Homo-oligomer: A and B are copies of this chain.
Amino acid sequence: MTRWSIGELAKASGLTVRTLHHYDEIGLVVASERTPSGHRRYTPDDVRLLYQVRSLRQLGLSLEEVRSALSRSDSLRPLFEAQLASLTAQAQQLEALRSRLTALLDGHTTEFLLSTLEMMAVHESYFTADQLGDLRSRAAAMGPEAVEALKASWLELVRQLRQHMADDVPPSDPRVAEVVRRWDELGARFTGGDPAIQAAARRSWEENKAAIGKQVGWPADDGLVEYVARARAAR
């Protein structure tokens, strides 16, 4: 049996008959022969070509790329190297995604997954890629529990501030000053002291405090920012 029907070839190659039809249509892998009635007969050379195509496809090339790779076989090596680089980048991206997702699943209950994701997305738009890398590596160095602890302390400090504000404690009160000082300290640990990152974080916070508040259950904006500003001014 030196000729193959389309069905046999499909089974052997793990592709579908439709796919082989498609390759034939676009002239990528054409059956060299036909039976008198029009059935495709694939020769060993056709089969070889098909396997080459399948291999290149598995390396992530488009059909057009496969076609040109096969037509000018001298250019294969740079193409492979480019493809290797692209694959590496893809793998790294996937790995980053994977670790973020793992962290999410570890640290959060279901009902917070969405809002956390959303806040991550919102905040990301305020930072450059470099800055985000910084933040992430710092977070990784601290470990997830430390990050969670930091978040919790931060929320607690905000809660205390809101309490003081509700109790009509004047912003100049030393207790308020102390909370603000610890707040800034936490912020510095988060931002690594980088003024650009601090500025970005502040912008993000100010423009999204309503959304953050919604997420953790605060009432709408009620002057917290002004209260803190007055506290700073009084210092």
Contacts and interface: CB of A to CB of B under 8 A. Distances in A.
Contacts of A76: 110, 113-114
Interface stretch (A33-41, A51-59, A133-141, A156-164): A51-59
A118 B54 CA distance: 8
Interface stretch (A84-92, A178-186, A190-198): A84-92
Contacts of A104: 80
A98 B122 contact: no
A84 B98 contact: yes
A12 B91 contact: no
A51 B60 CA distance: 29
**Which applies to chain A's interface (DSSP): helix, strand, loop or mixed?**
helix
How many subunits of this chain does the assembly comprise? 2
A101 B121 contact: no
A87 B80 contact: no
A117 B56 contact: yes
Interface string A56-81: 10111000000000100110110011
Interface string A147-163: 00000000000000000
A110 B44 contact: no
A128 interface: no
Contact of A105 (B54, B73, B74, B84): B84
Given A114-B52, A125-B14, A211-B48, A91 B80 contact: no
B80 A113 contact: yes
A121 B54 contact: yes
